Amino acid sequence: MNWLWVVSYFFGGAFAANAVPHFVSGTMGRAFQTPFAKPPGQGLSSARVNVVWGFFNVLVGYLLVAHVGAFNPRATTHVLAFGVGAAHQHLFGASLRPVSWGNAPSRP
């Protein structure tokens, strides 16, 4: 197996995992941090931006897994690379800093 495939599956898992908090927050109608927020890394993006960003992450993850190499869900190395990438993304996000939900206006 090509080692570049393993790297691709690792990043595919990371992108797929990163889609989860953005898509969930956006679907719930909550603002959440994205790379497009002002200021970057501190500000919040709208729920719609988060849904789009979540779908973009799913798309990139899919492309890295399904269109690079020959991903086999029965191959331990392939699934392990994907899982380690996903776990790394979640652990990195959990240890980076507390998530800022901001002061959303109250709804009537």
pLDDT tens series, the chain, 108 aa: 688 999 999 999 999 999 999 999 999 999 988 888 888 767 889 999 999 999 999 999 999 999 998 999 999 999 999 999 999 998 887 776 555 555 444 444
**Residue 92 CB partners (closer than 8 Å, separation 6+):** none
Residue 19 makes CB contacts below 8 A (sequence gap 6+) with 54, 55, 57, 58, 61
Compute the residue count for the chain. Answer: 108
pLDDT number for residue 76: 93
| pLDDT score at 59 | 97
Looking at residue 100, its pLDDT comes to 53
